[in-house]
Structure 1
Amino acid sequence: MAVQQTLRPYVTAGIAIVGSGLIAATPVTTPLANVPTFRDVALTSALTDAMAPWIAQYNTAAENFTVLANNYSAAPEVAAQQFMANTQAWIQQVLDDPSQIPVVVNEMQEQLRAVTNGYTLLNVAADDPIAVTTVLHTLSGGADLTTFTLGHSLLFTLLPQLLPAFLPPGTDADAILPILNFIASPMSGMIMGMLGPGLSPWIAMMNSINDGDGLNEILANMTGAFFNGATLDLGFILPMLDGVVPPGTISHLDFAFGGLFTPGSVANADYTYYDASGNIVDAVPAVGGSIFNSVGLAIDASGFLGVPLTLTVNSQAVGPLGALMGWEQAMAGLMGGSPWNWDGKNGNPPPMEPPLAGFSLPIVPTDFFDDGGTGGSAQAGDWSAFMDAIAALNP
């Protein structure tokens, strides 16, 4: 007991010292528990900033691919579908009446001529039905006269009248029109589609460096440009055009290159689905493009309109998939597929119907091999008409 009484003062003092130490240490240890939270917030913010340009490029690529996928799913291989539908109709037409062979052959030749000439548009007049149908799939529309913005299709129509104001005196404008036709053709769109994914990343890198972007943004833009394309500013060559066009006529010039998934923007109306009540349930934007469609410029029109006015045309890039699909849709139109060349100016177009909708194999009439006698069909089984039709093909 004596020992306990002796030690009691010291124990009491020790407990007091330990307690006061804990109380004094509490404000110091509390902030330490929050250090990981501050670090997590900083890391999350940095990661978000780093991923932002990559996410933006991915989202653009996803949107572009969606347009391409919807175009394809509307009528897969639409040109082949149109050809198969036409072939079925031709066979049925001949089976029903062999004397129609010359008519069928002539129609086949006309469609082949339309497709062949439509691919390059060389030696095709601007008002030719071949050109009218084709450029709906290679040139942009969307003219807005309130802002003096022209679509490429409108500019293409006006160029024959505008060329004399741009060309040096004595230049033959008619000699240039075939070149303009070609750069507005599906073939030129195929060329742009092949060049775009290879050139766009380097153009994007140059644009990013000029904009002062960091390494992360440069890499994101280069990667995204392979899928989404990039636009090259050609303002530096405008002084070189003096002597070719009147000085100051063109105040802006750029050229858009597409990426792998760039769909392009063309004048053809959307491919629209309707329900039984006539309500629009889906609208698929048409795709396609051309070299001419890739050009963006601003034109000072005061020289030939007599009023201070600047006309603007926005560049529209196209990639390989968009160019190919646009050409297939143009071919379907050139082969008689009217739902694939709506002009979008006559109210709502009819419900889109792929060429092979309701397809069936040709049916041979039951009296096809009839001799044409009593009870037979003189139209369906008259083989003399068939022989006359064959002779007509080889006069």
Structure 2
Amino acid sequence: MTDTDTDTGTTAAAVATDLQDERLRRRTGVKGALAGGLDRIRGGDLGLVPVILGLVVIAIVFQSLNQNFLSSANLGNLLMESVPVGMISLGLVCVLLTGQIDLSVGSVSGLSSAITAVLFVNQGMSPWLAVAAAVAGGAIIGLVYSQVFIRFGVPSFVITLAGLLAFMGVQLKVLGKDGSINLPFDSGLVRFAQLDFVPGWLSYVFVVAIAAGLFGTGWLGARERRLAKLSATSTAVLAARSVAVLVGFGAVVWYLDRGRGIGWMFVLFVVLALLLNYALTRTGWGKSVYAVGGNVEAARRAGINVNAIYTSVFVLGTSLAAAGGVLAAARLAAANQSSGGGDVNLNAIAAVVIGGTSLFGGRGSAFSALLGILVIQSISSGLTLLNLDSAYRFTVTGVVLLLAVMLDSVARKSRASHGRA
């Protein structure tokens, strides 16, 4: 036997061993998938389970205290109210995944609302051009952040804290001495944020499309794994998952349609969350984001352009913050000195962490923003129905945030000990 034959045989044996290990780790079939999920939870990979359970508990508690909490009208309004800050949180997910932070998203959103109002109302610009200009301004801010971070090594905490203060001042200057600009109620921008709801039949079309898309992407991913001689999720599991989504989302649509239905603004938020999730999980850019957040030096040695990743997440974060500010102004039909202030900044960060994105980087998903902001908005809505003031909302949100961070820390220790075992 030649050396080449020996090397080939060794390689084949190694591949066979790797495939065997892969099959042992990854189970197929419905029961196998459930067992695998339990294994991941025991290993510290909790995923979205805690926040989903939290939403269930919140719903049960507030519904028992006020029968209007789970009414279709209140839930429809809750979804719409969650979008502006949720949009900001969506951008923060990307920043936190790399292990960085942006403390200025509230100020950036307030500035973008002021820019939109001034260009649209005072300057007579088309509302959609005004929105584009505001979002472009947000992108430029993110680009500046990234260059200061990359070229001078200033911590993102300090850079964005300076931005928080600076852009609050710029916002006041843009608004001028009046301090408030009202947006026309009959404008398309305000109607989109307040009055435009998806027709019932189209809502069901969206549900079917989501379920079919989930099955299709899962099937293609499983096919690629099988072609690579790796184990893959079975078709039965993919079908069961899609049917569950179809039935679950269909029931939600049916219930919400008893009121005003689902707002187009919330649909936009969900679509952006799905697109970001695809980018994070299915593209090289997304894998690079997780790699940088997991270990920046290892990512650099693996050939990843770390500076480009930092630039992209800062730009994306501030752009989405600007978009959230625009939607907040449209929802209120006004931009004023308090836009982006108050608890906007803290709620945006809290939503991401409560939704399951780690403050330490490298772990989380786009759905963290969606579920996290629903938790915060549910708490706010429930306490409002109980006629309790903001003091209780701040306290409860703070406790939930602390519990989320504690859970994240415990999960990290569990994963570390599981890995050593």
- If the length of structure 2 is used for normalisation, what is the TM-score? 0.22
- If the length of structure 1 is used for normalisation, what is the TM-score? 0.23
Greater share of helix: 2
Point out which structure has higher relative CO (alpha carbons under 8 A, 6+ apart): 2
Tell me which structure has the larger Cα radius of gyration: 1
Greater share of strand: 1
